[in-house]
Amino acid sequence: MIVGCGLTGVVIAERIANTLKKPVLIVDRRAHIAGNIYDYKNKDFITIHKYGPHAFHTNSQKVWDYLSQFTKWEPYFHKVEAMVDGQNIPLPFNFNSLNMLFPKAICEEFEEKIIKEYGYSRSVSILELLESKELNFLAEYIYEKVFVGYTVKQWGIEPSELDRSVLSRVPFVSSRNNCYFQDKYQAIPSGGYTKMIEKMLDNPLIEVRLECDYKKLTDTNKYEKIIYTGMIDEFYEFKFGALPYRSLDFDFVTYGSEFFQRCTQVNYPNNFDFTRITEYKYFLKEKSANTVVSYEYPCEFKLGINDPYYPVPNSKNQALYERYRSLGKDNDSVIFAGRLGEYKYYNMDQAVERALEIFSKDIANA
């Protein structure tokens, strides 16, 4: 039995049914499949990502080949801008962003130093730049104008309280390429994510039960193995306390014009309470006289009120997670997987890769 019909649970269910030829039940408390990558077409035939914008990108040939069995793809290069000092500049911060904010002579000096130190077309983390003496000013500037405000809003804490790994995920790109990601494969499933998930579940050996909460099931001991992709602390009834998460409140608005903004995503690091505005028709290049955007407001996760989105990465929370994890170490009939089961932020490709790994190590060869 698999708890959770998100990407992680579905990959494992698909493998069990299609390669081991064994029956599998997959339950989800929500009324739909696909977990957080669920999407649907609205009345204007614009595909909306209900739980926030999802752009698929990967360098993994294995993940790309695996998912390509279930979908065709629409090439898509994610474009993001940030409102800084009243202008929308490209993100990740690159030479074009630099040119929009600094006088020409200063830009040339910075460009030369950056290319000399890191080479052209490299992605350098803000953490690395902050450590470089010559580029310290630029690093501080990006940190202040692009990172701090966004981070404080996103996590509801000061950056100093955050695990340094978050800083290392903020890149500066030493080129004029305005694509947000640099991965080899960047695309959106042609029919949307939910259609891809439907195809993955399309096997009579897979039974899907929606609006079915694991907590309310009474016959769970009849299953050979349980793969649990819900929150690990909830599984153990929060006996050591709750693992913190950040949540998001989405305000979806339809505007009666063809486009609202220049690209899919505009970040607002310093102004307004929301962190970003996403315009959905860009993902699949959908045509409509109207357009839909979402305003994204980060907030605290409250059980039963909103959804757990982002695990909060710090050593205290990791230690609490490990305590929960140790409860299951002598019990190999329950496997914790996915974003909530492993209390770890996974991009979609990482979630797939990890699910394939769990399947081959802990299920197929167990």
Ligand X SMILES: Cc1cc2nc3c(=O)[nH]c(=O)nc-3n(C[C@H](O)[C@H](O)[C@H](O)COP(=O)(O)OP(=O)(O)OC[C@H]3O[C@@H](n4cnc5c(N)ncnc54)[C@H](O)[C@@H]3O)c2cc1C
- Please report whether residue 3 would count as binding ligand X according to CB under 6 A: yes
**Residue of the chain from 2, 9, 143, 180 that contacts ligand X (CB under 6 A):** 9
Rg of the Cα atoms in the chain: 22
The one among 14, 16, 36, 196 contacting ligand X by CB under 6 A: 36
Considering the rule CB under 6 A, would residue 35 count as an interface residue with ligand X? yes
Closest contact distance (angstroms) between CB of 47 and ligand X is 14
Give whichever of 111 and 362 is closer to ligand X, judged by the CB atom. Answer: 362
Q: From residue 76, how far is each of 90, 138, 246, 256, 291 by CA, in Å? A: 17, 30, 28, 25, 18
Q: Does 166 bind ligand X (CB under 6 A)?
A: no
Q: Is 160 exposed, middle or buried (0-12, 13-18, 19+ CB in 10 A)?
A: exposed
As to burial, measured by CB atoms within 10 angstroms (0-12 exposed, 13-18 middle, 19+ buried), residue 323 is middle
CB 131 to ligand X: min, Å: 28
**Distance (Å) of CA 247 to CA 67, 302, 344:** 28, 8, 14
Which residue intervals of the chain are DSSP H helices?
A: 7-18, 61-68, 95-101, 104-118, 126-131, 136-142, 149-155, 164-167, 193-200, 232-235, 315-327, 338-341, 348-358
**Minimum distance from residue 120 beta carbon to ligand X (Å):** 26
Residue among 90, 92, 230, 298 that touches ligand X (CB under 6 A): 230
Instruction: Give the contact letters, 337-356, x = binds to ligand X (CB under 6 A), - = no.
Output: -xxx-----xxxx-x-----
Give all strands of the β-sheet with 93-94 in edge-to-edge order.
Answer: 93-94, 171-173, 123-125
* 184 binds ligand X per the rule CB under 6 A: no
Binding letters toward ligand X, positions 277-316, x by CB under 6 A: --------------------------------x-------
Residue 172 interacts with ligand X (CB under 6 A): yes or no: no
User: Quick check: 135 binds ligand X (CB under 6 A)?
Assistant: no
CA dihedral 144, 146, 149, 151 (to 10 degrees): -110
318 counts as binding ligand X under rule CB under 6 A: no
Note whether 245 binds ligand X by CB under 6 A: no
Binding site for ligand X (CB under 6 A): 3-9, 27-30, 35-37, 52-56, 213-215, 229-230, 248, 309, 338-340, 346-349, 351
